[in-house]
C-alpha cells in the first residue's frame, strides 16, 4: 500500500523508522520545511507545501495514496485542516497521530490562554523575565509587550523575536535538571509554553512547578479529524487495517 505521512514531530520520526522496515508499505514522509535542519529520515521525503487543499488532494490522487497519516505538530492547525478536506475530496482514509496534551498537576500554576496574542497580554504590565518557548514562528505577538525581558528558546533562530530578546538555540529532548538550571541562570519569573504534550519538552513544565513559577499555557486548536491516535502501535494497526480493506 502507498502511504503519505505528514511529519515534523518526534512521533512522526518514530513512525517513519517503524515503517521503513515494512516492505509491504511504500511510505513517503512530507515535511513543511519550517525547521532548517530536520533530522535525516529513513523514508523517501519531500519538503514544502502542497498548494492548499486542492494541491494536497491532487497529490493524493496522482500518487495513488491509499492512506494518509497526519503526524504534524499539535499546533499546525492549517495543514491539519487541509489534510481533512483533501483526504475527503480524494477519498483517502485519514488518521491523526498526536500526543495527548499535558494535564495540569498538583502544584502547577497555569494561566491558560487561546493564542500567543492573549499569552502576551497575560504577562501583565509589570516587567518580568520570561522564558518564551513558542517556537521560531510564534514569537511575533510578544513584540506588543516589550516591557518584558524574553529568553526565547527555539531549534532555529526566530524571524521576528521581541526587541532585546536573548536567543537560546537548542533541540529537544530536554532534561529536568537542565531546565531548572536554565531558569535559574536567567532568573526566569514566568514561562510561556504551548501545550504540545509528549515527553521531549515536558521538563520545562516540571521545572516551573519545582521552582514555583507560573506558566502561561497556550491551549491547542481543536482537531477536526474523526480518527485520532495517540501511540505508534495504534497508528501501525490503523495502517494495516487500511491495507487489508477491499
123 and 176 inside one domain:
yes
Residue 105 lies in a domain: no
- The tens digit of pLDDT for each residue in 87-146 reads 999 999 999 999 999 999 999 999 999 999 999 999 999 999 999 999 888 999 999 999
Range of the domain at 91: 2-100+222-244
Look up the CATH number of the domain holding residue 65. 3.40.50.720
SS3 149: strand
**Coil, helix or strand at residue 133:** strand
Q: How confident is the model at residue 39 (pLDDT cuts 50, 70, 90)?
A: low
pTM of the model: 0.87
Q: For the chain, how many structural domains are there in total?
A: 2
Question: Is residue 28 in a domain?
Answer: yes
In this structure, are 122 and 169 located in the same domain? yes
Q: Same domain for 133 and 80?
A: no
Q: Which three cell numbers stand for residue 17?
A: 523508522
- CA-to-CA distance for 43 and 27, rounded, in angstroms? 7
Pair (50, 118) in one structural domain: no
Same domain as 50, residue 15: yes
Amino acid at each position: 500500500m502507498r502511504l503519505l505521512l505528514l511529519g515534523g514531530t518526534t512521533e512522526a520520526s518514530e513512525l517513519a523508522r517503524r515503517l521503513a522496515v515494512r516492505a509491504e508499505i511504500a511510505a513517503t514522509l512530507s515535511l513543511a520545511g519550517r525547521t532548517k535542519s530536520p533530522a535525516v529520515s529513513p523514508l523517501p521525503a519531500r519538503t514544502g507545501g502542497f498548494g492548499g487543499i486542492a494541491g494536497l488532494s491532487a497529490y493524493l490522487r496522482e500518487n495513488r495514496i491509499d492512506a494518509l497519516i497526519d503526524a504534524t505538530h499539535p499546533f499546525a492547525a492549517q495543514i491539519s485542516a487541509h489534510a481533512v478536506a483533501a483526504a475527503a475530496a480524494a477519498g483517502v482514509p485519514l488518521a491523526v497521530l498526536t500526543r495527548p496534551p499535558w494535564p495540569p498537576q498538583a502544584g502547577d500554576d497555569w494561566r491558560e490562554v487561546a493564542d500567543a496574542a492573549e499569552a502576551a497580554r497575560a504577562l501583565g504590565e509589570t516587567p518580568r523575565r520570561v522564558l518564551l518557548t513558542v517556537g521560531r514562528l510564534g514569537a511575533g505577538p510578544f513584540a506588543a509587550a516589550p516591557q518584558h525581558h524574553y529568553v526565547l528558546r527555539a531549534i532555529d533562530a526566530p524571524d521576528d523575536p521581541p526587541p532585546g530578546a536573548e536567543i537560546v538555540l537548542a533541540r529537544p529532548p530536554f532534561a529536568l535538571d537542565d531546565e531548572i538550571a536554565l531558569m535559574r541562570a536567567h532568573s526566569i519569573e514566568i514561562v510561556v509554553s504551548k501545550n504540545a504534550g509528549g515527553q521531549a519538552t515536558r521538563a520545562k513544565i516540571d521545572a516551573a512547578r519545582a521552582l514555583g513559577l507560573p506558566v502561561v499555557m497556550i491551549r491547542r486548536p481543536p482537531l477536526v479529524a474523526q480518527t485520532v491516535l495517540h501511540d505508534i502501535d495504534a497508528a501501525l494497526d490503523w495502517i494495516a487495517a487500511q491495507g487489508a480493506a477491499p
